[in-house]
Amino acid sequence: MEIRQLQSKDVDAAWHINEQGLPGTGQVSHQEMEDLFLLSELAIGVFEQDVLRGFVLCLLPRTRYGSLNYAWFNQRFESFLYVDRIAVDDQHRDRGIGTILYQSVIDYANQKSYPVTAEVSLRPPNPGSIRFHIRHGFSEIGIFEQNEKAVTMMLREL
Residue 135: inside a domain: no
71: domain range? 2-116
CATH code of the domain in which 63 resides: 3.40.630.30
Grade residue 141 by pLDDT with cuts at 50, 70 and 90: very high
Q: Is residue 131 part of a domain?
A: no
Q: CA–CA separation, 5 vs 3, rounded Å?
A: 7
Average pLDDT over residues 116-132: 90
Domain assignment of residue 146, yes or no: no
Pairing of strands 139-146, 2-5: unpaired
Assigned domain for 17 exists: yes
Whole-number mean pLDDT of the chain? 93
For residue 157, what pLDDT band results from cuts at 50, 70 and 90?
very high
152 or 148, greater pLDDT? 152
Surface-to-core class of residue 82, CB atoms within 10 Å of its CB (0-12 exposed, 13-18 middle, 19+ buried): buried
Q: Is residue 148 assigned to a domain?
A: no
**pLDDT of 22-39, one tens digit each?**
776 777 899 999 999 999
Considering the domain boundaries, does residue 110 fall inside one? yes
The total number of structural domains in the chain stands at 1
With a cut of 90, say whether residue 114 has pLDDT above it.
yes
Q: What pLDDT, on the 0 to 100 scale, is given for residue 124?
A: 83
Residue 129 has a CB neighbour count (10 Å cut-off) of: 20
66 is a domain residue: yes
Distance CA 9, CA 31 (A): 13
In a domain? residue 144: no
